[in-house]
Amino acid sequence: MGRENILSFALLCVFHDWTLGVESKMIHPRLNRRNLDPIQLDMAPDSIDDSYEGCRENMLSEVKKTFLPNEKNIDSKFKGAWEDAMKVYDNNYNSNNELSNDHLRAIHVYVNTGKSIFESFNEATRTLGKRYKTDYKYHSLHFLLSDALRILNKAQGKKCEKTFRGSTRAFQGEKGHTMRFGQFASSSTDELVAKFFADWKTCFKITTCFGASLAGLSQLNDEQEVLIPPYEVFKIAEVTKNKVLEDKDKDDKSECEIVYELESTKTTQSQLNCNIVEKDKK
């Protein structure tokens, strides 16, 4: 993608609240500068990291009859976002793949425009692990996204993929340490997209083996998004610090001020696996 297209894309993002940053929603950095403490690149011990291994059928049933209706009732923003998604994927829609309409609606709620709730969703997913059963109000969205990624990953051949992620935030992480994002983490197969949203500050070069491409499932096709689940474990393979760039020097060939290279360990860690429902009967 050329630099002119990146700039046009950024203007769209200002209006559409697209996210590539770890902290929450990310618009062009010059329009949203905040002085915040560095984010620790660690195992995200407070994450809601349920991967639903062994309880998928029970959780799917609970989502349909309990969690989704209740969560729409208690959160007007989520209800509005879900209703918007239902207009796109109504009951007559046939996706012609293994994703159900509810999977598609969940993806739409997370990545697309309008009443997006990803900021509060990501914050809650990163921090409410100890209150998973009491205070977390996104059980349906968390499950449907996790399940959709599993289905898409399988359909796409379960291959590892190189992606990129950018943020204006500062991070702290050491080479050789392991980490998880602890939330659903957006990334792009286009490195320049990540650099632009980082304003050439903090960039991640990621090899993910559990993330999945959302190609064709987002209103902004140029983003080439790959979504990474909270429970995938990475090793910080390299940390590179580069010189601070002037605006005139920022282009597709220049590197960000700090670059973290993350290699998937090809494992997951789910401390809360099936913590909210019973295991499926065999």
Q: Specify whether 187 is catalytic.
A: no
All residues at 6 or more sequence positions from 33 whose CB lies less than 8 Å from its CB, including other chains: 168
Closest CA to 206 of 183, 228, 223: 228
**Per-state percent for the chain, helix, strand, coil, to nearest 5:** 35, 20, 45
Q: Of the residues 150, 165, 169, 180, which is catalytic?
A: 165
Q: Specify whether 8 is catalytic.
A: no
The two three-digit tokens of residue 31, written as one number: 């329009």
Distances (CA, A) of 273 to 47, 49, 60, 63: 12, 7, 14, 16
Closest CA to 138 of 149, 151, 148, 128: 128
Q: Of the residues 140, 225, 232, 270, which is catalytic?
A: 225
Return the SS3 of 175: coil
The two three-digit tokens of residue 42, written as one number: 């660690």
Q: Specify whether 57 is catalytic.
A: no
Q: How far apart, in whole angstroms, are the C-alpha atoms of residue 200 and residue 250?
A: 7
Q: Of the residues 47, 186, 188, 213, which is catalytic?
A: 186
Q: Which residues are catalytic?
A: 165, 186, 225
